[in-house]
Structure 1
Amino acid sequence: MNHATTHVQRPLGRLSRRGFLGLTAGVGAAGLLAACGSDPNTISIINTSATAAVALNQLLTDGKYFDKLGVKTKISNVSAGNQVLAAVASGSSDLTMTSGLIGILPGIEKGMRLKVVGGTQVVSTSALFTKDPQITSVRDLGGKSLGVGAVGAELYAVFAALFAKYGISKDGATFRNVGSSADSLKAALAGQVDCGYGQVGNQALATKQGARMIATVNEELPLWMNNAAVASTEAISKKRSALVKVLAGYAQLFAYLGTPESKDPYVQAYTGAGGSAAEGEQEWQFINQNGCYSPTLDFPEKKAEFIQKQNIASGTQTKVLAYDSYTDLSVQADALALIKK
């Protein structure tokens, strides 16, 4: 049986990106809670709807990772990170694996009952794109228009961190809130902003539209970390065994992504999620070569501290939280021990 299903309990199978998101659109806290129920062997997972995140869903299904570990999951993908945060904090979802860490840490500081239980995408796959011939590197962004999100969102924070790194004044630059990273990329490719934010795999699309990638976030900000596994404290307490199995399944998938054999399945899953084969190949190559997803679910303390400092700079967080205060890495340890059995 295929357990990697959406909230309406239909098999994911080979759904298109539109079909998958259609199943999860409009999911509220009550709907997710009703779907999850109190079954201690079912974990409700919520992530954003990035192409790579939807592709991972398909790989999990195809590899029967959760089936083999004897755990059931209900996976939902939504359009915005704040929806993810609200769902896990309210208890309507148990866990997020591939959503923005930068928005979760301020929530924990404000008292949300959440814990980081492991690392997921510990190396950023994000990149900057432009059509402006005068922009050849990050140093040329002064005085330019930039496609960002709200203050404190990942897109805004990355550009702010880059300006700080190179001592570029924000005066004269336009931080234009265009929405998501997909919206930022579209704005850059349309020439609506001078520089936009996307993923490494978007090089293929950018080239077709006369744009180019000028830098990767990993190259410019090596301490940047996109995602982490974050669970509600209630799930850790009441569904610990199932949570450990889910993390073990993801760890096995991440290990697989480091092998040459994962290329074709990843590209197929990426195209099924709405991307092109060329984008999927470039994305896989970067992930494979840079170890973007951690097979040991490592959650680097220095990277977490760096993200918190960006939050402090933007005003969304008041202080750097002590590492042990917002993590429960015993779940990670148990997941790794389970894999070794």
Structure 2
Amino acid sequence: MPRALIRRRTLGIMSAACAAGVFAPLLAARSRAAALGDRLTLGVAGQGEMYHLPVLLAEQLGFFKAEGLDVVLRDFSAGALALQALQDGTVDVVSGAYEHTIRQQLNGYALRSVVLHGRAPQIALGILPRMLPQYESVRDLAGKRIGVSAPGSSTHSFARWILAREGLNPQGATYVSMASATAAMAALRAGQIHALCHSDPIIAQAEQKQGLRVVVDARTIKASHELFGGTMPASCLYAAQPFVQKRPDQVQALVNAMVHALKWLQTAEPADIVKALPASYLATDRPLYLAAFHRIRETFSPNGMMPDDAPAVALRALTLAYPELAATKVDLARTFSNDWVRKARQKFNV
């Protein structure tokens, strides 16, 4: 064989090998995506709230793609609306409050939490002093207007629970929807509500800019444990039981990405958070956002596991907030599973 031909064939083989080395990971990722099925739509109840920060990080840092998933985040103004979208079939999975898995079981709709990313509510209730100048205790909120993200959402449940905990009728206040920071600030400024029950950064902004005075705070592990008598589970990824059964590979991939994000979050510096988030999330007030993040950081789960005591703590709180639940029976074992998280923890050594 002529020497020139030998050189051309050798170069061709080397080029092919090089191309294989470059494109093999990309092809493998595409192959995994094809094997896992179609695009997944993930409903998020208030994407800008820190409650869902691990989900946003998993998307922004490419952890979903690394697991071969094509995930589309769909933002909703409140948890109740994201839940409705799941029931309507317009989203596949929801990042929302674990409590929905309990409440919907009582309605005959089986939901299952597959990974927990919040181990405290990250919610606070504050009063507007100029609207309640004589305020002494939570009992003074009876008959008053309280801003919440939406009826049926976790902020609404939290406000109801606070009243019930004081021996008041949980329906003894008027709950006003305040889905966005803009709506909440406008309502506080205009004196349309007496109190606000929400999560950060909305509460932090209301404290700084509208003089909100926090009177019940569940934004730290210690405070949450003292309030609820144990671990109060909060944000999680949940899906309908048929989805979990029919698409276990996609569920595992989702959980892998979330556990990866939670691990990343444990050691991330403020500069890392700023770099990872879209600029729009920090444009309003970066120092305020980072200060609020620092306060609630410990409430994010380090590994995605549902703690042993958490489901019962959640049920106890819900029964107080919604007395009609007391006469019903809930199978808590059907509302969550740690199986996918255990596999993800092995993969990421957490």
- Work out whether residues 129 and 195 of structure 1, in 8 Å CA contact, stay in contact via their aligned partners in 2: yes
Distance 1:102 1:206, change over 3 A: same
What SS does the aligned partner of 1:51 have?
Answer: coil
Letter in structure 2 aligned against 1:323: L
| 1:55-204 aligned within 5 A | 56=54, 58-97=56-95, 99-132=96-129, 133-135=133-135, 138=138, 140-142=140-142, 144-148=144-148, 152-167=152-167, 169-170=168-169, 174-180=173-179, 182=181, 183=183, 186-201=186-201, 202-204=203-205
- Assess if the C-alpha contact under 8 Å between 2:148 and 2:198 holds in 1: no
**Is the aligned partner of 1:214 residue 2:215?**
yes
- Cross-structure match for 1:263: 270
SS at structure 2 position matched to 1:273? helix
Question: How far off is 1:293 after superposition?
Answer: 1.8
Q: 1:230 to 1:197 in 2, by over 3 A?
A: same
Shift of 1:45: 1.5
1:155-205 superposed Cα distances (whole Å, 9 cap, x missing partner): 3322232223334x3499632333547555653453222211122433244
C-alpha distance in 1 between matches for 2:266 and 2:139: 33
Do 1:91 and 1:232's aligned partners in 2 also have CA atoms closer than 8 Å? no
Kept in 2, the 8 Å contact 1:203–1:213? The answer is no
Structure 1 position 38, deviation (Å): 9.9
Quick check: which has more Rg, 1 or 2?
2
- Report if aligned partners of 2:148, 2:197 keep a CA contact under 8 Å in 1: yes
Output the amino acid matched with 1:227: S
| 1:67 partner SS | helix
8 Å CA contact 1:305, 1:320 repeated in 2: no
Matched residue count: 301
**Coordinate RMSD, CA, aligned:** 3.4
Deviations 1:42-84 (A, max 9, x none): 4331111241367555532442212333333222112232332
Q: Structure 1: which 5+ residue stretches go unaligned?
A: 1-35
Normalising by structure 1, report the TM-score. Answer: 0.73
1:229 aligned to 2:228? no
C-alpha contact (below 8 Å) 2:123/2:155 kept by paired residues: no
- State the identity %: 17
- Gaps of at least 5 residues in structure 2 are 1-32
Counterpart pick for 2:42 among 38, 41, 45: 45
Secondary structure of 2:49's partner? Answer: helix
**1:122/1:293 contact within 8 Å kept:** yes
Partners of 1:61 and 1:153 lie apart in 2 by 24
| Segments ≥4 residues shifted beyond 6 Å | none
Map Cα deviations across residues 226-284 of structure 1 (whole Å, 9 max, x no partner): 2222122233233212221221111121222222x342233452752365213311221
Query: What is the identity, as a one-letter code, of the residue corresponding to 1:263?
Result: P
TM-score (norm: length of structure 2):
0.72
